[in-house]
Amino acid sequence: MAIRFKASTSARQIDSLIAATGIEAFTSANRSRCRRYVLRLVRPEDDPIAIANSLQHSGLVDYAVSDLAAGQSEGIRSDSLFVDRLALSAFAANAVTADVAPAKYGMGQVLSEYTGAVMRVDGAALSAQISGVTSSASAVELVKAHGISTLRLEIPDRSPAATVRVILYSLNGTPVRQLVSEALQAGHFLVGWDGMDDRGRRVQPGVYVAVMTAGSFSETHRLVIR
Protein backbone atom coordinates (compact mmCIF):
# COMPACT_ATOMS: atom_id res chain seq x y z
CA MET A 1 0.00 0.00 0.00
CA ALA A 2 1.44 3.38 -1.00
CA ILE A 3 0.61 6.35 1.23
CA ARG A 4 1.58 10.00 1.08
CA PHE A 5 0.87 11.94 4.26
CA LYS A 6 -0.17 15.56 4.21
CA ALA A 7 2.35 18.16 5.37
CA SER A 8 0.03 18.94 8.30
CA THR A 9 0.13 15.34 9.57
CA SER A 10 2.33 15.13 12.66
CA ALA A 11 5.18 12.67 13.12
CA ARG A 12 3.24 11.06 15.98
CA GLN A 13 0.23 10.49 13.75
CA ILE A 14 2.47 8.96 11.08
CA ASP A 15 4.19 6.70 13.61
CA SER A 16 0.87 5.53 15.02
CA LEU A 17 -0.17 4.30 11.58
CA ILE A 18 3.09 2.72 10.43
CA ALA A 19 4.45 1.33 13.72
CA ALA A 20 3.38 -2.24 13.01
CA THR A 21 3.87 -2.34 9.25
CA GLY A 22 6.35 0.27 8.03
CA ILE A 23 10.12 0.17 7.90
CA GLU A 24 11.97 3.46 8.10
CA ALA A 25 15.38 3.87 6.50
CA PHE A 26 15.97 7.48 7.47
CA THR A 27 16.60 9.49 10.59
CA SER A 28 14.13 11.69 12.43
CA ALA A 29 16.07 14.74 11.26
CA ASN A 30 14.91 13.98 7.73
CA ARG A 31 11.30 13.43 8.73
CA SER A 32 10.08 16.62 7.06
CA ARG A 33 11.28 15.37 3.67
CA CYS A 34 9.71 11.94 3.99
CA ARG A 35 5.97 11.94 3.55
CA ARG A 36 5.51 8.92 1.30
CA TYR A 37 5.59 5.33 2.48
CA VAL A 38 4.98 1.86 1.11
CA LEU A 39 3.50 -0.46 3.72
CA ARG A 40 2.64 -4.14 3.87
CA LEU A 41 -0.56 -5.22 5.58
CA VAL A 42 0.00 -7.22 8.76
CA ARG A 43 -2.95 -9.56 8.21
CA PRO A 44 -3.21 -11.12 4.73
CA GLU A 45 -6.98 -11.35 5.10
CA ASP A 46 -7.34 -7.56 5.30
CA ASP A 47 -8.73 -5.84 2.23
CA PRO A 48 -6.08 -3.35 1.02
CA ILE A 49 -8.59 -1.41 -1.07
CA ALA A 50 -10.91 -0.94 1.91
CA ILE A 51 -8.03 0.15 4.14
CA ALA A 52 -6.72 2.51 1.45
CA ASN A 53 -10.17 4.05 1.12
CA SER A 54 -10.41 4.46 4.89
CA LEU A 55 -7.02 6.19 5.03
CA GLN A 56 -7.93 8.35 2.07
CA HIS A 57 -10.89 9.70 4.03
CA SER A 58 -8.98 10.10 7.29
CA GLY A 59 -7.86 13.64 6.47
CA LEU A 60 -4.21 12.68 7.11
CA VAL A 61 -3.10 11.67 3.62
CA ASP A 62 -2.89 13.12 0.12
CA TYR A 63 -3.39 9.66 -1.31
CA ALA A 64 -3.57 6.04 -0.20
CA VAL A 65 -3.62 3.34 -2.86
CA SER A 66 -3.15 -0.42 -2.79
CA ASP A 67 -0.20 -2.34 -4.21
CA LEU A 68 1.49 -0.86 -7.30
CA ALA A 69 -1.26 1.55 -8.27
CA ALA A 70 0.88 4.57 -7.31
CA GLY A 71 3.38 3.70 -10.04
CA GLN A 72 6.34 4.53 -7.82
CA SER A 73 9.66 2.70 -7.95
CA GLU A 74 9.60 1.55 -4.31
CA GLY A 75 6.09 0.16 -4.58
CA ILE A 76 7.19 -3.45 -4.67
CA ARG A 77 4.62 -6.08 -3.75
CA SER A 78 5.34 -7.86 -0.44
CA ASP A 79 7.97 -5.26 0.45
CA SER A 80 7.37 -2.92 3.36
CA LEU A 81 10.05 -0.30 3.20
CA PHE A 82 10.36 3.34 2.32
CA VAL A 83 13.82 4.60 1.46
CA ASP A 84 14.59 8.31 1.45
CA ARG A 85 16.92 8.32 -1.55
CA LEU A 86 18.15 11.87 -0.88
CA ALA A 87 19.14 10.99 2.69
CA LEU A 88 20.88 7.78 1.60
CA SER A 89 22.80 9.56 -1.16
CA ALA A 90 23.95 12.24 1.26
CA PHE A 91 25.09 9.61 3.77
CA ALA A 92 27.00 7.60 1.17
CA ALA A 93 28.83 10.71 0.02
CA ASN A 94 29.85 12.01 3.44
CA ALA A 95 32.04 9.88 5.68
CA VAL A 96 32.82 10.70 9.28
CA THR A 97 35.76 13.08 9.75
CA ALA A 98 38.64 11.00 11.07
CA ASP A 99 39.56 11.32 14.71
CA VAL A 100 37.35 14.34 15.44
CA ALA A 101 35.48 13.73 18.70
CA PRO A 102 31.73 14.39 18.43
CA ALA A 103 30.33 17.36 20.31
CA LYS A 104 27.47 15.32 21.78
CA TYR A 105 26.09 11.81 22.07
CA GLY A 106 24.33 10.40 19.05
CA MET A 107 23.21 7.23 17.33
CA GLY A 108 22.30 6.58 13.72
CA GLN A 109 21.59 3.80 11.26
CA VAL A 110 24.40 2.65 8.97
CA LEU A 111 23.86 0.78 5.73
CA SER A 112 26.49 -1.89 6.23
CA GLU A 113 26.75 -5.66 6.54
CA TYR A 114 28.76 -5.31 9.78
CA THR A 115 27.15 -7.35 12.57
CA GLY A 116 30.02 -7.50 15.08
CA ALA A 117 30.60 -6.11 18.55
CA VAL A 118 31.09 -2.42 19.29
CA MET A 119 34.19 -1.18 17.42
CA ARG A 120 35.85 2.23 17.37
CA VAL A 121 36.30 3.55 13.83
CA ASP A 122 37.78 6.54 12.06
CA GLY A 123 36.53 8.02 8.82
CA ALA A 124 38.48 5.60 6.63
CA ALA A 125 37.22 2.52 8.48
CA LEU A 126 33.63 3.70 8.33
CA SER A 127 33.97 4.45 4.63
CA ALA A 128 35.32 0.94 4.07
CA GLN A 129 32.29 -0.55 5.81
CA ILE A 130 29.90 1.24 3.45
CA SER A 131 32.08 1.22 0.32
CA GLY A 132 29.50 -0.82 -1.56
CA VAL A 133 26.83 1.81 -0.97
CA THR A 134 27.89 4.32 -3.60
CA SER A 135 24.43 5.42 -4.74
CA SER A 136 20.87 5.51 -3.53
CA ALA A 137 20.07 2.61 -5.89
CA SER A 138 22.69 0.31 -4.33
CA ALA A 139 21.58 1.48 -0.87
CA VAL A 140 18.04 0.34 -1.64
CA GLU A 141 19.32 -3.06 -2.75
CA LEU A 142 21.41 -3.41 0.42
CA VAL A 143 18.40 -2.70 2.61
CA LYS A 144 16.28 -5.20 0.69
CA ALA A 145 18.95 -7.91 0.90
CA HIS A 146 20.35 -7.40 4.40
CA GLY A 147 17.94 -5.16 6.29
CA ILE A 148 19.37 -2.53 8.62
CA SER A 149 21.45 -4.15 11.34
CA THR A 150 24.30 -1.71 12.03
CA LEU A 151 24.38 1.39 14.21
CA ARG A 152 26.82 4.29 14.43
CA LEU A 153 27.47 5.63 17.93
CA GLU A 154 28.89 9.08 18.58
CA ILE A 155 30.57 9.55 21.95
CA PRO A 156 31.76 13.01 23.10
CA ASP A 157 34.66 13.68 25.45
CA ARG A 158 33.11 13.67 28.93
CA SER A 159 34.62 13.31 32.40
CA PRO A 160 33.68 11.08 34.02
CA ALA A 161 32.66 8.94 31.04
CA ALA A 162 29.06 7.76 31.20
CA THR A 163 28.14 4.12 30.70
CA VAL A 164 26.74 3.72 27.22
CA ARG A 165 23.96 1.19 26.76
CA VAL A 166 22.29 0.05 23.56
CA ILE A 167 19.37 -2.31 24.08
CA LEU A 168 17.11 -3.76 21.41
CA TYR A 169 13.38 -4.16 21.91
CA SER A 170 10.59 -5.71 19.91
CA LEU A 171 7.82 -3.37 18.77
CA ASN A 172 5.71 -4.48 21.76
CA GLY A 173 8.44 -3.32 24.17
CA THR A 174 9.95 -6.71 25.06
CA PRO A 175 13.76 -6.58 25.59
CA VAL A 176 15.51 -8.67 22.93
CA ARG A 177 19.27 -8.05 23.06
CA GLN A 178 21.78 -5.85 24.87
CA LEU A 179 24.40 -4.78 22.33
CA VAL A 180 26.46 -2.36 24.44
CA SER A 181 26.93 -1.74 28.16
CA GLU A 182 30.25 -0.03 28.89
CA ALA A 183 32.00 3.32 29.22
CA LEU A 184 33.33 4.22 25.76
CA GLN A 185 36.11 6.66 25.00
CA ALA A 186 35.32 9.67 22.85
CA GLY A 187 34.96 8.96 19.15
CA HIS A 188 32.86 7.17 16.56
CA PHE A 189 31.84 3.52 16.92
CA LEU A 190 30.05 0.86 14.95
CA VAL A 191 27.98 -1.86 16.53
CA GLY A 192 26.12 -4.53 14.62
CA TRP A 193 23.42 -7.04 15.36
CA ASP A 194 23.64 -10.62 14.13
CA GLY A 195 19.91 -11.20 14.53
CA MET A 196 20.25 -13.23 17.73
CA ASP A 197 18.56 -12.54 21.06
CA ASP A 198 20.26 -12.61 24.46
CA ARG A 199 19.77 -16.39 24.61
CA GLY A 200 21.45 -16.99 21.28
CA ARG A 201 18.23 -17.68 19.41
CA ARG A 202 17.51 -16.29 15.95
CA VAL A 203 14.76 -13.67 16.09
CA GLN A 204 11.89 -13.44 13.67
CA PRO A 205 12.36 -11.13 10.65
CA GLY A 206 10.89 -7.70 11.23
CA VAL A 207 11.41 -4.30 12.81
CA TYR A 208 13.11 -3.83 16.18
CA VAL A 209 13.83 -0.69 18.20
CA ALA A 210 17.36 0.17 19.35
CA VAL A 211 17.55 2.44 22.41
CA MET A 212 20.83 4.15 23.30
CA THR A 213 21.26 5.74 26.72
CA ALA A 214 24.24 7.55 28.27
CA GLY A 215 23.60 9.56 31.40
CA SER A 216 20.55 11.70 30.63
CA PHE A 217 20.89 11.14 26.86
CA SER A 218 18.46 8.81 25.10
CA GLU A 219 17.85 8.13 21.41
CA THR A 220 16.05 5.46 19.43
CA HIS A 221 16.37 4.03 15.93
CA ARG A 222 14.85 1.08 14.15
CA LEU A 223 16.76 -1.97 12.98
CA VAL A 224 15.39 -4.38 10.40
CA ILE A 225 16.10 -8.09 10.33
CA ARG A 226 15.41 -9.84 7.03
> Do 108 and 210 fall into the same domain?
yes
Among residues of the chain, what percentage have pLDDT more than 70? 57
Report which secondary-structure segment, H or E, holds 80.
none
More confident residue, 34 or 28: 34
- What is the pLDDT, as a whole number, of residue 168? 96
Please check whether residues 111 and 182 belong to one and the same domain: yes
Burial class of residue 131, CB neighbours in 10 A (0-12, 13-18, 19+): exposed
Residue 109 makes CB contacts below 8 A (sequence gap 6+) with: 25, 27, 148, 150, 151, 152, 221, 222, 223
Distance CA 134, CA 90 (A): 10
Q: What percent of the chain shows pLDDT beyond 90?
A: 26
The enclosing domain of 214 has a CATH number of: 2.60.40.4070
Q: What is the pTM of this model?
A: 0.62
Mean pLDDT of 46-53: 70
Could you list the beta-strand ranges (E) of 142-198: 150-155, 163-170, 175-183, 187-192
Do residues 77 and 134 share a domain? Answer: no
pLDDT digits (tens, 9 = 90+) for 150-169: 998 999 999 888 999 999 99
Is there a single domain that holds both residue 18 and residue 103? Answer: no
End position of a domain, from candidates 46, 61, 82: 82
Shared domain check, 169 and 63? no
Chosen domain end from 38, 60, 82: 82
Helix (H, G, I), strand (E, B), or coil: what is residue 17? helix
Q: How many domains does one find in the chain?
A: 2
Q: Which domain holds residue 55?
A: 2-82
Q: What angle do CA 87, 143, 54 make, to 5 degrees?
A: 80
